[in-house]
Structure 1
Amino acid sequence: MKRVFLLVLDSLGIGSTKDSYKFHDLGANTLGNIFKYLYKKKMNVLQENILKIPVLTSLGLIHALKKSCGKFPKGCDKNSKIIGSYAYSSPISKGKDTCSGHWEIAGSPVLHEWEYFTSLNNSIPCSLLKKISQKTGIVNFLGNKHSSGIEIINFYGLEHIKTKYPIIYTSADSVIQIACHENYFGLKKLYSLCSKIRNVLNHSKYNICRVIARPFINVNKNFIRTRNRKDYSMKPAYNTILEKFLLEKNSYVISVGKIYDIFSGKGISKKISLYSIQDIFKFLNKELLIKQKNNKNTIVFVNFIDFDSLYGHRRNVIGYAKELELFDKELYKFLNLMTNNDLLIITADHGCDPTWIGTDHTRENIPILLYKKFLKPRYLGHRKTFADISQTIAQYFGMSKMKFGTSFL
């Protein structure tokens, strides 16, 4: 039996796409600009090199970055021995959001345009709010504007606790976000509210990708978001590799992190709600050591959310760099536990350059790193769609072809 471990470093872009100017992202380069920032500041994140990621470097990450943007960043180890195959890929999906990136990786690119709330100061139209109120029984909402999640809960948090009115806001993504206090409003009540809003959108003219529950608590005088976020997404337009895998093979699909929510549970056998790098790798290492579930082929699909949510969106370059170094250290242990029948694919879903203006995602190419014991390392070229990943997985398991993408095996 074979296993694929598909790890998504959420937001680890490696250079602007050709169409990035349409998104006002020309020049964005998440990994490249982290190197540039650290080199310019002459900062040593863990008291050693500019950015100490020897395992990712040996898998070809820095070479993929060079292929994408034309040059090696200052301070990198460009002479490291390469033990994995590598590529860079451009998206064909119309957006630069989480769902578009992950769905395209899974073989279902978003070829239609999402709708965004960009009028009236980026607020949600009154007509839609009225429908939401009618269906949910919520008479009033706070906020209703384009905002950073941290800023809006700090601004409206006390008023929310006093009135129990949910905080509603949006961003550059196709999304409605609802922030409520876990104790004063209630987590189950928040989830129910977001589920009802998702249902309203499904029966409206608005093609909005996600409704996100954003629970928070207060610690001393500060409000902080908790790990109990939940996404209510639309479903992909085409069958994904996950659904196809379950249908065609004696198989098992494990989702880790927010993967289950991104795919609305479709094609998932088991959901693992872990989010920190340490917790995720503890689970993955344990998974490597045990026998495969009922002797089944397995896909383990993992999202590492903190790169994006804690450091990319918050424009925290040092935090992002430290998170990369932590990931690299954990990855070393993981590689040593892999068996001959394990295939590792490391990639990203979009960019979120922590040196860029604003707080939104950035339109970027992504890395694709491929590792399997005894597989000859090579450059896999410029891939024209993220869907090449799912096509490769389909070939690896001997499945019929996906609708999109070209295998690089």
Structure 2
Amino acid sequence: MKRVFLLVLDSFGVGYSFDADKFNDVGANTFGHIAEHCYFGRANYNRLGNLNIPNLISLGLGNIYYKIKGHFPLGIMSPKKIIGSYGYASEISTAKDTSSGHWEMTGIPVLFQWDYFPCQKNSFPQKILDQIILQFRLPGILGNCHASGIEVLKNFGKQHIQTKQPIFYTSADSVLQVACHEKYFGLNNLYKLCYGIRSILDQYNLNITRVIARPFLGDNQSDFIRTGNRKDFSKPPHAITVLQKLIEEKNGYVIALGKISDIFANIGITKSIHAVGLRDLIDKTIHQIKISLDYTMVFVNFVDFDSIWGHRRDVSGYAHGLELFDRQLPKILHALHDEDILIITADHGCDPTFPGTDHTREYVPILLYNKLLRSSDIGYRKTFSDIAQTIAQYFLLSSMKYGVSIL
């Protein structure tokens, strides 16, 4: 039975990459800085002490860091035994966003330029706003700026409830985000609005990666909270991914958990499973390992590392999440069949100690586990697409254009 389980620890970089200077990210180090803060007692909210992730370390995570930095992270020791294969990869895509990272690991790096909304204030073109307001009969919009998700709720949430004006905001990524209250604006109305905005951006030939619906609840600044009903309206992939090849060439299955289906505009996905929160995603991943059929790829994005802890600069939360994942990792490994391949990686960095709230250009780990394979050092990989080429070789698919198989 051939099955692949690709788990993305969203934003878990392992040190700034060789081209980080182009992104103003020299010095970023998601893994190392989290471990450092834990070591010095600066990440003790809801947890305590050194970063405790022995199972990830046994797969070779600490050794990856040693290869890059020449030493283990503070508070983390060399494992007595390594049970997996380990390496790290740099990105050849032109950006450091979610879509670019995921598309590249499925074999289609983004070698073109996305469009952006660079202005910090009055971020969106007025002609586009006018069309959106007219088409959807909106009383106006709020925000129209660069901001974090929590910041816009504090600044505009109360006014949104009073006026029913959607909150529009963006970031350094190629995104247009819309925050609306699930009760006072309506979740379905928010989805319809974002779907329409996606069409309008495409009409203007704006190459914006995603329009993101950001629903929230609460009645005032003190209790506004984003819900788990986020939905991304993405550009479709620009080429054939390894996901599509598995379905078309082998009549295989691609099971998407978390926001994976949204990232690929539901292309190359046979089933999408909704999950909210890290523990729910882990539990549903284990369930899929137990029930998945031959020629199945289960693709999971653990978004909380990025959206809740990375962007919000919550080091304690990030460390706590890593430790929770690590405690459940033995259940994942135990559920695997002999021929299964497990790959744990990331799509970019988001160092919670680094200035700003944006993603960081970092190397990502590649941890590969199979019960029948010897542990090995798979070295430095020049592109995330090595993951796609590995999956293609394993399933005996036609080769991808980019990448070299780890196998």
- 1:290-305 mapped onto 2 (5 Å cutoff): 290=291, 292-293=292-293, 296-305=294-303
Aligned to 2:133: 133
Taking the aligned partners of 2:47 and 2:304, their CA distance within structure 1 comes to 22
Post-superposition offset of 1:46: 7.8
Aligned to 2:199: 199
Equivalent position of 1:273 in the other structure: 274
Query: Residue 45 of structure 1 contacts residue 321 of structure 1 at CA under 8 Å; is this kept in 2?
Result: no
Residues 346-392 of structure 1: per-residue CA shift (max 9 Å, x gap): 00000000101111111111000000002011111110000000100
**Structure 2 residue aligned with 1:65:** 65
The answer to whether the aligner puts 1:320 opposite 2:318 as a matched pair is yes
Paired residues of 2:117 and 2:124 also in contact (CA < 8 A): yes
Deviation of residue 72 (structure 1)? 1.6
Paired residues of 1:122 and 1:170 also in contact (CA < 8 A) = no
Counterpart AA for 2:206: Y
Q: Residues 245-285 of structure 1: CA distance to partner in whole angstroms, max 9, x if unpaired?
A: 10101311100000000000001010000132321222222
In structure 2, C-alpha distance between the alignment counterparts of 1:395 and 1:275, rounded to whole Å: 33
Specify the SS of the correspondent of 1:324.
helix
SS of aligned partner of 1:222: coil
Partner in structure 2 of residue 339 of structure 1? 337
Q: 2:399 aligns with which of 395, 398, 401?
A: 401
Secondary structure at 1:87 match in 2:
strand
Q: Which residue of 2 aligns with 1:245?
A: 246
**Aligned to 1:41, what secondary structure does the other structure show?**
coil
Please name the residue that 2:231 is paired with: 230
Aligned residue in 1 for 2:215: 215
| Offset at residue 215 of structure 1 (A) | 0.3
Work out the CA distance in 2 between the residues paired with 1:236 and 1:175.
16
Greater shift after overlay, 196-205 or 113-122?
113-122
Task: Note the C-alpha offset of 1:68.
Answer: 2.6
Q: In the alignment, which residue of structure 2 is the partner of 1:80?
A: 80
Q: Quickly say closer, same or farther: Cα 1:200–1:48, change in 2 above 3 A.
A: closer
In the TM superposition, what are the counterparts of 1:149-168 in structure 2 within 5 Å? 149-168=149-168
CA deviations on 1:212-259 (whole Å, 9 max, x unpaired) are 000000067421000000000001111111111101013111000000
Counterpart in the other structure of 1:289: 290
Q: What's the TM-score once normalised by structure 1's chain length?
A: 0.96
Tell me if 1:367 matches 2:365: yes
* Cα separation, 2, equivalents of 1:196 and 1:48: 46
Task: Indicate how the Cα distance of structure 1 residues 147 and 258 shifts in structure 2: closer, same or farther if over 3 A, else same.
Answer: same
SS of residue paired to 1:213: strand
Equivalent position amino acid for 2:38 in 1: L
Structure 1 residue 394: Cα displacement = 0.4
Taking every aligned residue pair, what percent have the same amino acid on both sides? 54
Q: For residue 214 of structure 1, give the secondary structure of its aligned residue in structure 2.
A: strand
Query: Contact conserved, 2:257 with 2:285, CA < 8 A, in 1?
Result: no
Contact 1:168/1:177 (CA < 8 Å) preserved in 2? yes
Tell me how far apart the structure 2 counterparts of residues 284 and 185 of structure 1 sit (CA, whole Å): 33
| In structure 1, distance between residues paired with 2:259 and 2:235 | 14
Separation of aligned partners in 2, 1:26 and 1:231: 30
Q: Secondary structure at the match of 1:382?
A: strand
2:260 maps to a residue whose letter is I
After superposition, the C-alpha distances for 1:276-320 in whole angstroms (9 at most, x for unaligned) are 232122222222333x44xx3100000000001110000000110
**Is the 1:105–1:388 Cα contact (8 Å) retained in structure 2?**
yes
Residue 98 in structure 1 maps to residue 63 in structure 2: no
Distance 1:46 1:185, change over 3 A: closer
CA distance in 1, matches of 2:134, 2:43: 54
Q: Residue 288 of structure 1 aligns to which amino acid in structure 2?
A: I
- Aligned 8 A contact 1:90 1:364 in 2: yes
Using the TM superposition, give the Cα deviation of residue 171 of structure 1 relative to its aligned residue in structure 2, in angstroms: 0.5
Task: Give the gaps of 5 or more residues in structure 1.
Answer: none
Q: CA–CA distance in 1 between the matches of 2:42 and 2:196?
A: 50
Residues 397/380 of structure 1: CA separation in 2 closer, same or farther (3 Å cut): same
Partner of 1:33: 33
Shift in Å, 1:80: 3.4
CA contact (8 A) 1:275 1:304 kept: no
- The 1:88/1:190 distance shift into structure 2, 3 A limit, reads same
- Structure 1 residues 269 and 46: alpha-carbon distance in aligned structure 2, compared to 1, 3 A threshold: same
Equivalent-residue separation in structure 1 for 2:357 and 2:253 (angstroms): 37
Instruction: Indicate how the Cα distance of structure 1 residues 199 and 217 shifts in structure 2: closer, same or farther if over 3 A, else same.
Output: same
TM-score, scaled to structure 2: 0.96
